[in-house]
Structure 1
Amino acid sequence: MVERTSGSHHKGGSRKMAKRNTICAGIDTSKDKLDVALDGSSEELQVKNTAEGHQELVEWLKRHKVKRVGIEASGGYEQAAVAELRRQRFVVIVFQPIQVRAYATFHLQRAKNDKMDAALIAACTAAVKKIHPAPDPRLQPFAVHLTMIDQIKEDIAKLKNRLESCPDERIQKFWKEQIALLAKHRRAEFKALVAAIRKHRDLAARLDLIYSVGGSGLPTAVAILIRMPEIGQITREQAAALTGLAPYDDDSGKHVGARRIDGGRQRLRQALYTAALPASFRWNPQLMALYSRLIAAGKGHKRALVACARKLIVIINAVVARGTPWVAEPPRTASVSVT
């Protein structure tokens, strides 16, 4: 552990710390170490990114009466530290790198190193006005498992491309065997994942609600459950934005640009876009009507599918919020004739 402190004689830091009711810390993460800084203070810490280092970090934060901790997402290297901090009841905010760099740009800060980044993240943490609830910790191992299943699917696609361009029959046979083996593993892993989810009654009930929506097959329903824990607790606009399916304006002065989707959770967006094709052609009457209307209005196939994918997540969000399974059409009110 490497700790540096200036004590109470650091007047500028003391005044700034006194102005804040909530003491905030920032953590810059790398594979081997964590650099930590306090907002409004020159005190800093460096520990190893290990279980022992995390314990030292917790003790140091408690000693300085830190309540809120910000940490930058770093390819998964931050996950163990985040889990431990949340277990210790700290309020943890995980920033995307683009958020931290945008904050630095706003303050015209060009210099960059690990210690400076930790201080910058601490300032970002203190500036946050709205703090979202921490995601369900049960979903984290499911997310890792689902990513592995997705990666197997990607490997199968790569092998199929190699198979198509390979003229050698012996090598073709090898690629076919590998594809069959990976496909078998993928089916087994997905079955195990669903079984693990169904051990939790509340998660199983939520999965069934998502699965009830026409066009949301079981793989899509699992992806939404795991990769969008906010489902059913947010607005339709927020649901579209989180999935990266919300169209954004590109207007300035007299310029009126085309609206485009951007951002969001990439793997989740891919799952919804994949589901939108069969849903809008066969399984969901609402999406079928939407697709036909957009095509008739001159919209392209891909643009119509994006709109259907957005409509699909909006429907699913409403179903989960309501807590009752989806029905293709609302029940008709029985008419009573008076004679």
Structure 2
Amino acid sequence: MEVAPIFVGIDVSKARLDIALRPSGARESIPNEEASILALVERLRAIQLTLIVLEATGGVERPVVHALAGAELPVIVVNPRQVRDFAKATGQLAKTDSIDADILARFAEAVRPALRPLPDRATEELRALVARRRQLTEMIVAERNRLSGAARPLRKRIKAHIRWLEAELEGVDSELDQSIRQSPIWHEQEDLLKSVPGIGPVVSRTLLAELPELGRLNRKQIAALVGVAPLNWDSGTLRGRRAIWGGRACVRAALYMAALVASRRNPAIREFYRRLRAAGKAPKVALTACMRKLLAILNAMIKHRVRWSPVMAKTH
């Protein structure tokens, strides 16, 4: 007898986990504590599940995800935007933790997102360091902007805070250096990425931390994952403008800076950019195409473990 598929949605907050099952509609709420999580895992292991879906919630979801994955349960963490769009499309406009869990279960049932490998703890730690570096950089920029218009009594304090932030940034960079050195795979991959003119340590480490799929997908898949693939906007005889949308914002931001530098300093990418501009493409459109081309090249380099060559700009 064929067993009906069962889908689980788990909404995670700091204090509680709200769980919903489809198609039964069963719901429960438990404390977000280790003992409760372990008990939940045991209960879910006793059920023949098809899929468990959680939203990315800034890291709060990690303990329960690790527990579920450790028990070899089919769990996936999805982009909150996908779930919100699904909720709007199905008319689910109300929002509570219990409703969110039910929407996640319905999303799992209707969309059935493909399972993919979860990042290991080392990758999560690298990701946390990269995120912290980004935060410190933003805070330094903000404080320097405040300094220019600050009253005299505050200038000394702001300067002291900037020095402290810069020291913290230096410490994070040292930890990143150590993490990369301790991993033969990351060390090799960073060396390959940095062989491309326009790619420095900030971009390479963002890619290693935030895009572990690099080298494992084809060029179309990796472009769609990052959010640099042009999406159609057509209806009937109307042909709309192509646009990029969604994806991983932090990776896209890093690629933007890399493409900006490469369009000036990397002869192959610079020539590609100039060709697009000469063909009438707007600067932003041409730069987005450079981002997409650069990503395809980096993906191929990691996949085939080869260093940069100008020939790659002609074949990718």
Query: Are residues 1:315 and 2:297 paired?
Result: yes
Check the 8 A contact 1:135/1:229 in 2, yes or no.
no
Of stretches 193-202 and 262-271 in structure 1, the one that deviates more from structure 2 is 193-202
CA distance in 2, matches of 1:198, 1:30: 35
**Structure 2 counterparts to residues 91-102 of structure 1, below 5 A:** 91-102=74-85
CA distance in 2, matches of 1:85, 1:305: 41
- Matching residue of 2:310: 328
- Matching residue of 2:104: 121
**CA spacing shift, 1:253–1:34, aligned 2, 3 Å:** same
Of stretches 35-44 and 285-294 in structure 1, the one that deviates more from structure 2 is 35-44
Pick the aligned partner of 2:16 from 33, 36, 39.
Answer: 33
Structure 2 alignment gaps of length 5 or more = none
Check the 8 A contact 1:47/1:56 in 2, yes or no.
no
Q: Once the 2 structures are TM-superposed, how far is the Cα of residue 105 of structure 1 from its aligned partner?
A: 4.0
CA deviation vs aligned residue, 1:43-63 (integer Å, no higher than 9, x gap): 333211121221121122123
> How many equivalent pairs are there?
311
**CA spacing shift, 1:37–1:129, aligned 2, 3 Å:** closer
- Matching residue of 1:241: 224
- Matching residue of 2:162: 179
- Matching residue of 1:85: 68
SS in 1 for 2:52: strand
**Structure 2 counterparts to residues 142-291 of structure 1, below 5 A:** 142-166=126-150, 168=152, 170-282=153-265, 284-291=266-273
CA distance in 1, matches of 2:167, 2:140: 11
Check the 8 A contact 1:93/1:125 in 2, yes or no.
no
- Matching residue of 1:297: 279
Of stretches 186-195 and 39-48 in structure 1, the one that deviates more from structure 2 is 39-48
**CA spacing shift, 1:299–1:175, aligned 2, 3 Å:** farther
Q: Once the 2 structures are TM-superposed, how far is the Cα of residue 270 of structure 1 from its aligned partner?
A: 1.0
CA distance in 2, matches of 1:308, 1:225: 20
CA distance in 2, matches of 1:120, 1:300: 40
CA deviation vs aligned residue, 1:259-295 (integer Å, no higher than 9, x gap): 222111111111111122221111x222111122122
Q: TM-score, normalization: structure 1? A: 0.83
Check the 8 A contact 2:194/2:204 in 1, yes or no.
yes
**CA spacing shift, 1:189–1:110, aligned 2, 3 Å:** closer
SS in 1 for 2:291: helix
Check the 8 A contact 2:74/2:115 in 1, yes or no.
no
Check the 8 A contact 2:76/2:116 in 1, yes or no.
no
- Matching residue of 1:71: 54
**CA spacing shift, 1:72–1:130, aligned 2, 3 Å:** closer
CA distance in 2, matches of 1:33, 1:319: 43
Query: Are residues 1:48 and 2:34 paired?
Result: no
Q: Once the 2 structures are TM-superposed, how far is the Cα of residue 69 of structure 1 from its aligned partner?
A: 1.3
Q: TM-score, normalization: structure 2? A: 0.89
Q: Once the 2 structures are TM-superposed, how far is the Cα of residue 204 of structure 1 from its aligned partner?
A: 2.0
Q: Once the 2 structures are TM-superposed, how far is the Cα of residue 128 of structure 1 from its aligned partner?
A: 4.1
CA distance in 2, matches of 1:213, 1:21: 51
Of stretches 220-229 and 238-247 in structure 1, the one that deviates more from structure 2 is 238-247
Q: Which amino acid aligns with 2:142?
A: K
**CA spacing shift, 1:290–1:173, aligned 2, 3 Å:** farther
CA distance in 2, matches of 1:150, 1:50: 30
CA distance in 2, matches of 1:281, 1:154: 25
CA distance in 2, matches of 1:271, 1:111: 35
CA distance in 2, matches of 1:102, 1:96: 10
Q: Once the 2 structures are TM-superposed, how far is the Cα of residue 239 of structure 1 from its aligned partner?
A: 1.9
**CA spacing shift, 1:307–1:183, aligned 2, 3 Å:** farther
Query: Are residues 1:23 and 2:6 paired?
Result: yes
Structure 1 alignment gaps of length 5 or more = 1-17, 331-339
Check the 8 A contact 2:226/2:252 in 1, yes or no.
yes
- Matching residue of 1:136: 119
Q: Once the 2 structures are TM-superposed, how far is the Cα of residue 181 of structure 1 from its aligned partner?
A: 2.9
CA distance in 2, matches of 1:118, 1:181: 42
CA distance in 2, matches of 1:311, 1:127: 34
Check the 8 A contact 2:45/2:71 in 1, yes or no.
no
**CA spacing shift, 1:21–1:207, aligned 2, 3 Å:** farther
